[in-house]
Amino acid sequence: MFGQDVRYVSEFNKFMNDFLKKNPEVAQGQIEGRSLLWEKAPLDLDERQRNEASRVKQKAYPYQAD
Entry pTM: 0.45
Q: Does residue 24 fall inside a structural domain?
A: yes
Q: Does residue 34 fall inside a structural domain?
A: yes
Q: What is the number of structural domains in the chain?
A: 1
Q: Does residue 36 fall inside a structural domain?
A: yes
Q: How far is CA 27 from CA 19, 20, 24, 32, 60, in A?
A: 10, 7, 6, 9, 45
Q: Does residue 39 fall inside a structural domain?
A: yes
Q: Does residue 16 fall inside a structural domain?
A: yes
Q: Contact, 11 vs 4, CB < 8 A?
A: no
Q: Does residue 42 fall inside a structural domain?
A: yes
Domain that holds residue 29: 11-53
Q: Does residue 3 fall inside a structural domain?
A: no
Cα angle 9, 31, 34 (rounded to 5 degrees) comes to 110
The number of C-alpha atoms within 13 Å of 26 and in the hemisphere containing its C-beta is 8
Per-residue pLDDT of the chain (66 residues; tens, 9 = 90+): 566 667 899 999 999 999 999 999 999 999 988 888 888 778 789 988 998 999 988 888 888 886
The predicted structure's pLDDT at residue 4: 67
The predicted structure's pLDDT at residue 1: 54
